[in-house]
Amino acid sequence: MMTSKLSMFTLGLCALFLFPAQSRGSEAADSLVRLQVGGYGEAVFSRNFYSDNIYRYQNPAAYRHDPAHSRMDLPHAVLSLGYDFGHGWKFYSEIEFEHGGTGGSFEQEYEEGGEWEQELEQGGEVALEQFWLEKAFCPQLHLRAGHIIVPVGLTNARHEPLNYFTVYRPEGESRIMPCTWHSTGVSLWGRAGDWRYELQAVAGLNAMNFTRDNWIQGGSNSPYEFTVANKLGLAARIDNYSVKGLRIGLSGYFGNSMHNSFPNDLSGTDANGTPKKYAHLKGQTLVACLDFTWQGPNWRISGSADYGHLGDAAAISQIKKNLTSNNAPTDKSFVGEQAYALGIEAGYNVGAWWRTLNERAQKLWLFGRYDQSDSYVAATGMQGYNQTLRRTVTVGVNYLPVKQIAVKAQYAYTFLHPTLNNEPSISLGIVYQGLFRTGRS
């Protein structure tokens, strides 16, 4: 009894200090109304029926009969927190844990004869994916500043796991662009009628982190305690909702990616005032994307087409290979002048015809998907690589016992160049997406 009274006294004392005497009850309730808490995550098992040897593309015949291999992974686990301060001011944050942890990792370098290197993973393990303040002036105009999502492409704009059927994020876009693409900058966005727009100025990409197998994907990462912003990038997106159930979007990015590294010692002039050898290179990076989503009675279809072009790709490739030291936090592989990705998926909810599932508001989606992408379309005179062109057919099922949870299963078959070995796999995953919006809109 004494312990119970002491606990009640302690709670009362805390409430007295936290809230004014006359309005502490109403302010506490108001604070909870303004608070937004949520998150999403994935756990995955995959069985890959092909070799995992690093030389399987250089000498495919030698590894055609290698055993299959399996992997378990936690691709993403995200916690979000937001708060509505009132008067149009809002705060939002997301912290993302990728692949289940933090710290270093070992990797085999393809460009260095399979040499093992230990690397610290900046963006691939723990990342502050969003951290911004926003002022809403009216529905047509919002100003956002901080660390924001760059909504270029369908996957970046709709990257939560219940927005796509596959166990992993769609292959094409995630191969050639940062995914999820997040950067520090400012954004203007708004919605008027059936149109939504967004304009952004963010830190530019770093050409020294572009690669053969993933094009500009690593360009937004920084191994330092800061993000180099010698160059800025411009991103834009516009969506239309005129047709019921249909959204069509156009998005893009443009910026110079050369001389956006640290230290910036390839531009400027020498002691005699003469421009340095590579000062004229710009590495202009252009990405253009068209995508759509359609939701009908028991149907869901989405698709995207993405194209990218990198200026000075041949010169950048030679700089990366010849002038980058072995222990520098950059990549030494060549980078393509162009890259592209195409993807389309369709799903049908057969649960609507299953009485038990329908009564419980559960869904059972059967889906199919096709992806085609090439992360390295070589510049004139540059070496080509067979393994960068990939075509993947995926079929599977999604079961949603409740609205926020899905159990996913799929079979995928990746077709490579005829001289290489194709790559079939099966994957199982469990995902949740609980973005519980308790805050004011």
Can you say whether residue 337 is alpha, beta or left, with left for phi > 0 and alpha for psi between -120 and 50 degrees? alpha
Decide if pLDDT at 143 tops 80: yes
Q: Which residue has the higher pLDDT, 23 or 152?
A: 152
List pLDDT tens digits, range 174-220: 999 998 999 999 999 999 999 999 999 999 999 999 999 999 999 99
**Coil vs helix vs strand at 301:** strand
Q: Of 297, 322, 94, 329, which is closest to residue 221 (Cα–Cα)? A: 329
Return the sign of the alpha-carbon dihedral for residues 110, 116, 119, 121. Answer: positive
Model confidence at 11, in pLDDT bands (50, 70, 90)? very low
Going along the chain from its start, the domains and CATH numbers come out as: 122-424 (2.40.160)
Decide if pLDDT at 423 tops 80: yes
Distance of CA 11 to the CA centre of its chain: 43
Query: What pTM, to 2 d.p., does this model score?
Result: 0.85
List pLDDT tens digits, range 80-116: 999 999 999 999 999 998 887 665 555 655 555 556 5
Q: Of 176, 129, 164, 124, which is closest to residue 150 (Cα–Cα)? A: 129
List, in sequence order, every residue forming a beta bridge with 305; answer none if it has no partner: 290, 342
Direct distance between the N- and C-terminal alpha carbons of the chain, in angstroms, rounded to an integer: 44
Return the sign of the alpha-carbon dihedral for residues 374, 375, 381, 382. Answer: negative
Find the DSSP H helices in 39-186: 154-157, 171-176
List pLDDT tens digits, range 326-345: 566 677 789 999 999 999 99
